[in-house]
Amino acid sequence: MNSQHLFFYDIAEGYRAGELERIERLRSEHSSKNIKEICALLSDALDCAFVSDVEDLIVYNRQLDTIQSIVQLLYETRPKNSCRWSIPLLKESYKNLDIQLDSREILTRKGLHPSDYAIIINLSQYIPKIGCTKNIPQVDLVTIPHNADFDISSIAIVGHEVGHVLYETNKKGIIDDRISEFITSEFYKKHNVDKSKQIPIDVYVEIAEFAKNYISHICEHFCDLVAAHIFGLAFDIALLRAFLVIDNPTQPGKEHPAPSYRMKLAYKRLVAAMDTNGKNNGTNGTKLHSAFIEMVSSVANKCDSFSDFSPNDELCYKAANFIFEGFKIRYRLAIP
Ligand SMILES: [Zn+2]
């Protein structure tokens, strides 16, 4: 390397040294074997031997950003920031869905605000240059809403995040199979396709377009159904409370269906369950039952003002239901 090359390498080396120190501190503070392994992978990923000009330095800086974000997230799983009390509940939810825990570890961090809840499935896969390294430590990082420490009912929202783990771990199997079975049959019906003849190309195109734009919406509905399965009414109440504060609830996102649609579905599940429970335990029509109905109605009053949803929204929800039914049959999940 000439002196100009060395100049860029030295800058990268400086960044590297600082980050290595943080990683070392993280490693020494955590007793988890998985985190120690992730620290070793992160240290390897900091290798800057390739940096010899400004372009390399830009690439290196980008990798460094990702590494720093992962290190920061892991810092937030230390006891004082995490919500470790929620781990037994999360483990129970995984077990309930038959998600193997032998080789996975669940970590938690406290969210920054009440609507900060999320999951990063298999965090190690985001380490730069990890490529096809086999046997990377399987760690799922769950963000617990900030207020769950003092408002326990809000914890049920994490059922949705556990749904994402079920979805991810079964994607290349039952999920993909059921989605394609459902979508093709719906579009064939819509276009009166005779399956014994050649399928018109425009039907294929329409199916592909739908899948491209709506696959993540199907996933979101599926995760809500999983959460409602694990946590029952507690999830639907938590969802309604979390979504009521959303500014523009009727606006769908690229990845998410309109919050208003998910609220309406949660509301319907709540009312149906309350009716059934009331009939079963004799509380239907009692003061307690009507007080509960009143409470839920007032919380969900907003739902009535939401307009109807598009046929594609309805189709996504139906598809999610179809996948979930498949799980119930295959894994004999107890019907809540
Ligand atoms: Zn989601």
CA 101 / ligand 1 centre spacing (Å): 21
Q: If the chain, 336 residues long, is cut into consecutive pieces of 10 residues, what is the mean pLDDT of each piece?
A: 81 94 93 92 93 93 95 89 89 92 92 90 91 82 90 91 95 90 89 79 88 93 95 90 82 87 88 73 63 66 71 92 88 55
Residue 335 has a pLDDT of: 46
CA 332 / ligand 1 centre spacing (Å): 24
Residue 274 has a pLDDT of: 74
CA 186 / ligand 1 centre spacing (Å): 24
CA 17 / ligand 1 centre spacing (Å): 37
Residue 106 has a pLDDT of: 96
CA 69 / ligand 1 centre spacing (Å): 21
CA 118 / ligand 1 centre spacing (Å): 8
Tell me how far apart the alpha carbons of residues 79 and 158 are, in angstroms, rounded to a whole number: 19
What tokens appear for 114 in the block?
């009440």
CA 139 / ligand 1 centre spacing (Å): 18
CA 149 / ligand 1 centre spacing (Å): 22
Residue 250 has a pLDDT of: 82
CA 275 / ligand 1 centre spacing (Å): 28
CA 169 / ligand 1 centre spacing (Å): 15
CA 190 / ligand 1 centre spacing (Å): 29
Contacts of 193 (CB under 8 A, 6+ apart): 187, 199, 200, 203
CA 316 / ligand 1 centre spacing (Å): 14
CA 117 / ligand 1 centre spacing (Å): 9
Residue 336 has a pLDDT of: 45
